[in-house]
Amino acid sequence: MVSTRYRRKDLKLVRCHIVKAANRIADQEMMIRTLELKGSPAGPAYALLYRLYDTQRRRLDRLKLIEAMLCESIVFPGLRPPRHPPGKTRPHLRLVSPPDHLP
């Protein structure tokens, strides 16, 4: 398998293709309903619909793959502990007791 580096634009492009595939499926389903109401044979229309479903499934699998690879490659800066220069100690936290009375 060829090693591929995915970028954010690849993720955006795949999402756009998935939306287009969903629109094609919706159009094909409406066409089948129309054919059935007219009493026309809908065999070829169903064959196309199954191919569209298969294409959409493959695109969703690819989207999941790209999302997983991007999540692995991105390191969130908030998850790393803050760096301190060597030689300096980190400030210690003080325990402060609550006041005895409130004004």
pLDDT, position 4: 72
Alpha-carbon span 63 to 10, nearest angstrom: 9
pLDDT, position 60: 93
| pLDDT tens for each residue of 28-44 | 999 999 999 999 988 99
CA atoms 78, 80, 82, 83: torsion sign: negative
Does the pLDDT of residue 101 top 70, yes or no?
A: no
* 59 contacts: CB under 8 Å, gap ≥ 6: 14, 17, 18, 21
> Can you tell me the mean pLDDT for 61-67?
90
- For the entire predicted model, the pTM comes to 0.61
> Can you tell me the mean pLDDT for 80-102?
62
pLDDT, position 58: 94
> Can you tell me the mean pLDDT for 68-82?
65
Q: Where are the beta strands (DSSP E) in the chain?
A: none
More confident residue, 30 or 101: 30
> Can you tell me the mean pLDDT for 15-28?
94
* Complete DSSP assignment for 68-91: HHHHHH---GGGSPPP--TTPPPP
